[in-house]
């Protein structure tokens, strides 16, 4: 199904029959990506006495599983500023609309000592004069091992605070990245990129100009065959009363 929408003052076409899913599925397997020193997620049938919620075991008419996971460490997730604040903010309260113009860019993080950093200059070159509502950052190299990588204690690439600040300044409200965090893994809890993007200066008493409606989505995966450019983003999340929710962001190519 094709639809015509207005984008940057122009009428463009979006083909909703060709979704591009850039999420990582949650699975009870060793192939599940893991970050933040966790074990793999668990999906287990409910057991009540001799009753097991699994059809294949012959004692249940339904499969009836419990799922144990952490949204931040076990796959694609979308978080709000409640991730870093003393007061509680829920992603379900923050994210109220779900379609946004998005720019997909590919960036090779720059080496800085033992770190690999995405810089403001790199993003400025990639985005140029475009001002999308969302940015999707694919880091290079982009091999398929990202879909099952174990990130704990590997010092993955991250976003500089200047880069996060620049995205905020140009009006990007939704930041998506194929890394476990926009910040350095071991940063003494500074979280400078999170704070710069959300404009949080005091996590104990939230400043009035903090960006309550901005989100960060981490641990996505964008296959190589998806070209950089302009897309319509459907930012899907589960309705969790939590700072973060597992997510399934989907892109649709914009036909100019």
Find residue 5's DSSP bridge partners.
Answer: 12
Cα separation, 173 vs 196, in Å, equals 12
- pLDDT tens, the chain, 256 aa long: 787 777 666 787 899 999 999 999 999 999 999 999 999 999 999 999 999 999 999 889 999 999 999 999 999 999 999 999 999 999 999 999 999 999 999 999 999 999 999 999 999 999 999 999 999 999 999 999 999 999 999 999 999 999 999 999 999 999 999 999 999 999 999 999 999 999 999 999 999 999 999 999 999 999 999 999 999 999 999 999 999 999 999 999 998 7
pLDDT score recorded for residue 222: 98
User: CATH code for 2-33+71-255?
Assistant: 3.50.30.50
Domain residue limits, the chain: 2-33+71-255
Computed over its alpha carbons, how large is the radius of gyration of the chain?
19
Beta partners for residue 231, in sequence order: 102, 253
Both structure tokens of 184:
């350095």
pTM attached to this predicted model = 0.96
- CA–CA separation, 248 and 103 (whole Å): 17
CA-to-CA distance for 82 and 171, rounded, in angstroms?
20
């Amino acid at each position: 199904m094709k639809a015509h929408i207005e984008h940057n003052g122009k009428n463009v076409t979006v083909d909703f029959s060709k979704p591009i899913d850039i999420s990582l599925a949650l699975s009870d397997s060793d192939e599940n990506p893991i970050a933040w020193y966790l074990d793999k997620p668990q999906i287990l049938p409910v057991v009540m006495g001799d009753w097991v919620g699994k059809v294949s075991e012959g004692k249940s008419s339904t499969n009836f599983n419990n799922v144990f996971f952490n949204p931040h460490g076990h796959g694609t997730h979308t978080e709000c500023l409640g991730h870093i604040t003393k007061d509680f903010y829920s992603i379900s309260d923050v994210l109220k609309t779900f379609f946004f113009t998005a720019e997909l860019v590919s960036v090779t993080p720059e080496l800085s000592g033992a770190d690999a950093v995405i810089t403001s200059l790199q993003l400025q070159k990639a985005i140029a004069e475009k001002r999308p509502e969302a940015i999707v950052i694919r880091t290079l190299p982009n091999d398929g091992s990202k879909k099952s990588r174990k990130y704990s204690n590997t010092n993955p690439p991250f976003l500089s605070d200047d880069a996060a600040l620049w995205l905020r300044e140009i009006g990007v409200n939704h930041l998506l990245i194929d890394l476990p965090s926009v910040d350095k893994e071991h940063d003494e809890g500074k979280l400078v990129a999170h704070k710069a993007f959300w404009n949080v200066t005091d996590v104990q008493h939230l400043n009035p100009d903090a960006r309550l409606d901005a989100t960060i989505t981490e641990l996505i995966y964008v296959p190589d065959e998806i070209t950089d450019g302009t897309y319509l983003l459907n930012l899907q999340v589960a309705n969790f009363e939590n700072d973060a929710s597992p997510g399934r962001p989907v892109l649709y190519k914009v036909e100019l």
